Structure formats: C-alpha cells, structure tokens
Amino acid sequence: MVRIKVEKPKVHKSVALHIKAITTAFKEAISPGTITIHYPRERRKLPDNFRGLLQLDKEKCINCFRCAHICPANAIQMYQRENKYYPGIDYTKCILCHFCVDSCPTAALKPSKIHDVAFASLSTMVLPPEELAGEPEMWREDTVTVEYDFDGDLKMIKRKEVENLIVEVEKPKRPEFVAGAAFPENCIACRICVNSCPQNAITFKLQDLQTMVLEIDFEKCTGCMVCIRNCPTQTLLPFRREEVLKGGESDEQG
C-alpha cells in the first residue's frame, strides 16, 4: 500500500481560504448568482426568428406547394379551400426545422416564438390551415423576461415585462429567382405553365392559329418554380432575378 502524504495547510493560507468562503456566502445572500429561470413565471427572451410554432398568412399564400415539397419530415399537407390549396401541419411529424419558412417565396409561412405547446390528443396535433392562421390560445403566467449577459461573468438581466411571442420578422435576403424561357424552341404550346402559375404571371395570346405569344411578367413572378416543375419539355428554367434585370439593361444599351 502506498500512503499519500497530505501536507497540512499553513495557517495563513487556511485563514485566507476561510475569508474567501465567507465573503462568497455574503455575496450570494445579497445578490444570488444562480442562472436558473423560474419558468413559467419568468421567460427567457428569444431571438425574433426563433423556430417555434408556425403561422400562416392565408392572404399571402400563393399555393405553390413549395413548403409541402421541401418538408423533410413530410409533415405538410395541402388542404383544398375554395379554389386554392393551403398548407396544414402535422405536429406529430414536424421537426420545426423551418425549411418551409425559408422556402416560402412570399413569406406566407412565418415563425413564432411559441415553443411550449400542449395538445389534448394526437389527433389535435394535425392542424389544418385555419388553425395555423391567427394566434393560438395562450395561458401566460410570466411577468418577467430574462436575458443572459455572456460578457465576463455570466449574468442574468431580468426585466419586468412580457414579451410578445408573435413578432413580424423581415424575411432574410436570399437570392431571388424568376422563371425565364430558356429554350423557347422546345415549347409545345401546352400552356401548362400559364394554367399552373399561382400568380398569373404567365399569359399567352393566340395571334392566329399558328402563332402564340407567351409572356412572363417578371414583376409578378415569385420564383416559386411551379411552372418549371410542370413544363414537360424544359422550356423554362430558373434565373437569378438580378441577372435577368441586368441582362435586360445591357440589351437596351446595345
């Protein structure tokens, strides 16, 4: 057996340690350094683009199905309402990745800071579009909003205020696309693009029996790519909006 010899602390060192311990105890008694948030009476302040429950603005939705296509959890289903389709979300599947929010060309799907949700049963977790619009029913007990200050010693900043959980956020800048006629020679004049465009940005006119004029309004086009997906002959392709506009300018100059 090996015996480890522990040196006895020197007296002055031991006194210093005791004083430090006592001052810490006093400090904690006056202003405690705990970093626990007393939820639900207190709430932590969340960033505006927090990935919580989703909100749908039916007015803005152009029923392009992009959200349903991109959802990696297959949680979005489109519901027919009148002559349009709107997304509904199955929260038993949703992983709150907000790909749908990112892909929405018109910011009709919006994030919210609501993350503490309770459902009465599994079936109530499947929300049709109507239930995505507007504020959900909320019970709030919180009176204090807490923020952490990470500079130097971790500190808590408590404010006696109630944070709004649904805020308007500006959609982050992403490259914008428009659909352009890349290979007009492939067009078979089926007009599926015209009929499928949710924005009615594509129009066609029959000039005579043989000639059809197809026109894409780049102003109206949201780059949702429904027409591109539907075009059977790859006539249309997506283009960067700024490049298209630049191209137009140089055309005018030349």
| Residue from 97, 88, 99, 94 nearest 55 by CA | 88
Under a CB-based contact definition with an 8 Å cutoff, are residues 63 and 84 in contact?
yes
Min. distance of Cβ 92 from other proteins in angstroms? 33
Among residues 53, 56, 48, the alpha carbon closest in space to that of 164 is found at: 48
Nearer to other proteins, 78 or 244 (CB): 244
Among 211, 241, 252, 253, binds other proteins (CB under 8 A): 211
Q: Is 196 in the site for other proteins (CB under 8 A)?
A: no
Count of residues interacting with other proteins (CB under 8 A): 35
Cα within 13 Å of Cα(199), Cβ side? 21
Residue 130 touching other proteins (CB under 8 A) = no
Site for other proteins in 212-231 (CB under 8 A): 212-218
* Residue range at the interface with other proteins (CB under 8 A); choices 10-18, 73-81, 165-173, 186-194: 186-194
Query: Measured between alpha carbons, how far apart are the two ends of the chain, in Å?
Result: 94
When binding is defined by CB under 8 A, the residue of 32, 40, 72, 248 that contacts other proteins is 248
In the complex, minimum distance from the CB of residue 79 to other proteins, in angstroms, rounded to a whole number: 24
CA distances to 57, 144, 147, 160 from 163, rounded to whole Å, are 22, 9, 11, 10
Residue nearer to other proteins on the CB measure, 153 or 185:
185
Q: For residues 143-182, which are near other proteins according to CB under 8 A?
A: 180-182
Q: Which of 185, 252, 253, 254 binds other proteins (CB under 8 A)?
A: 185
Eight-class DSSP state of 184: G
d(CA 62, CA 104): 9
Cis omega (within 30 of 0) on the bond before 238? no
- 29 binds other proteins, rule: CB under 8 A: no
Among all chains, which residue has been given the structure tokens 């490259």? 175
Q: Which is closer to other proteins, CB of 81 or CB of 191?
A: 191
Residue 69 binding other proteins, by CB under 8 A: no
